[in-house]
Structure 1
Amino acid sequence: MSDLKQRILDIIHKPQLASLATVTEKNNPWVRYVVTVGDGNLMLRCATFIESRKVKQIEQNPNVHVTCGVNSLTVMEPYLQIQAQARLSQTRDERHNFWNDMLTPIFSGPDDPNYGVLIIEPYRIEYCTPASLEPEVWTR
């Protein structure tokens, strides 16, 4: 595994607040906060309502952008700019595997018919550091 991939994994492996940008039906950007978790294949996942605006936008245009890694306003750490394709999963396995107690105030459980999992598959990740104007780039 490359050093860059490991540094990316170090950022995405734990649940964190991220911004997810989609494109509206009128080709305008739309950004919202989500909580993402990444896996060893650099795939990100987040919970969503299956009838949400973001799901409709992703069905129209699966190209998304995620920014994550900054968890403090007082300490600037490396962060990621991620270009990806996203899709909604409603499979039992995905919903049960992603389920965690943080979701209980929002959904009734992993079988809630309104609950889905967004799967975000990066094709380009920029690893940005405060000291450098040029990011390191990972591509699939």
Structure 2
Amino acid sequence: MSDLKERILSILHKPQLAALATVTEMGNPWVRYVVTVGDGDLIIRCATFAESRKVKHIEGRSDVHLTCGVNSFMEMQPYLQIQGVATVTADKDERHSFWNDMLSPIFEGPDDPRYRVIVIKPYRIEYCTPGSYEPEVWTR
């Protein structure tokens, strides 16, 4: 595994607040906060409601952008700019494997019919370091 991929994984592997941008039906960008978790293959997941606006956006156009990695205004650290393709799934295995206790105040469990998982497959990740104007780039 490359050093860059290891550094990207060190940011993605834990649950964190991220900004997810989708494209509206009118072709405009729309950004909202989500909580994401990435796996060893750099696939990123987050939970959503089946009837959410982001689901409609992704079903209309699957291109998304995600920014994550900064958790404090007081301590700038490396962060990621991620371009990818998103899908929304109601697959039972996917919902059960992504389920965690943080979701229990929002959904009734992994079989809640309102619960979906957004799966983001990145094709470009920029690893940005504060103070540097040139990100390191990973591509699939």
* Aligned residue pair count: 140
Task: Please name the residue that 1:10 is paired with.
Answer: 10
- Percent identity, please: 73
The answer on 1:27 being equivalent to 2:40 is no
1:26, 1:65 → 2: CA distance? 17
Q: What is the Cα deviation at residue 50 of structure 1?
A: 1.0
Query: What secondary structure is seen at the aligned counterpart in 1 of 2:56?
Result: helix
Q: Which amino acid aligns with 1:121?
A: K
Root-mean-square deviation (CA), in Å? 0.4
Instruction: Give the CA deviation at 1:89.
Output: 1.1
1:47 aligns with 2:59: no
Structure 2, gaps ≥5 residues long: none
The one-letter code matched in structure 2 to 1:42 is L
Q: Which position in structure 2 is the counterpart of 1:94?
A: 94
In 1, Cα distance between the equivalents of 2:50 and 2:134? 37
1:73-84 alignment runs, 5 A limit: 73-84=73-84
Q: CA deviation at 1:51?
A: 1.1
Structure 1 segments of 4+ aligned residues over 6 angstroms from their partners = none
Gapped runs of 5+ residues in structure 1?
none
TM-score of the pair, normalised by structure 1: 0.99
Q: C-alpha distance in 2, partners of 1:34/1:70?
A: 14
Task: Tell me, in whole angstroms, the C-alpha distance in 2 between the residues paired with 1:101 and 1:19.
Answer: 22
| TM-score normalized with structure 2 length | 0.99
